[in-house]
Amino acid sequence: MGVRILGIAGSLREGSFNGRLLTAASYELPRGMELHRWGGLGLVPPFDEDAEEGPEPGGVAELRRAIAEAAGLLIATPEYNGSIPGQLKNALDWASRPYGDGVLKGKPVAVVGASNGVHGAAWAQEELRKVLKITGAEVLDGTLPVGRVARQLDEDDRLLDHDLRRNMRAHLHGLRDHIRLRAYA
């Protein structure tokens, strides 16, 4: 059995660039690594501390189960007004609970992002890294901004630029290596 990672695109839009970036990542996975995409972001209700008492909303249960079953996460975020999308932040709030013992605690996570602008969601990636660290996730160093993304993907969602492909592979190898080190710690 390979190392199973969970891919989450931070956009709700069908065919989003960040969803396509996860597909591009799937072509660059190291041997023995499997990427499973979770598409339930739109099913997670707004976070409400009163709702923590139960019953657990179905979308939240699905999110928590998917994260718990994965050895690590690859999150691809767009940038909305210089930050991460509200729905992605909302899902992370749910996954961080119960406080101090949520499914993100200790989970290795790599962050990537794409936009049609030149900066490739760089600010959003930094914001996402901050949020993930606060939840207790083990966030890998570095980001992978993919700017002008519409020009960077072919019709099969493969990255066209050799350097971007190499950087994606390095990012994914780093995630795999972190997962392996954590397994032996």
Buried b / exposed e across 67-103, counting CB within 10 Å, b at 16+? beebbbbbbbbbbbeebbbebbbebbbbbbbeeeebb
pLDDT over 90 (residue 26): yes
34-78 pLDDT per residue, tens? 999 999 999 999 999 888 888 999 999 999 999 999 999 999 999
Strands (E), 3-44: 3-9, 33-38
* Residue range 82-93: mean pLDDT, rounded: 97
- What would the mean pLDDT of 168-174 be, rounded to a whole number? 97
What's the confidence (pLDDT) of residue 185? 57
Each residue of 92-145: pLDDT tens digit? 999 999 887 899 999 999 999 999 989 999 999 999 999 999 999 999 998 999
Tokens of 154: 């072919």
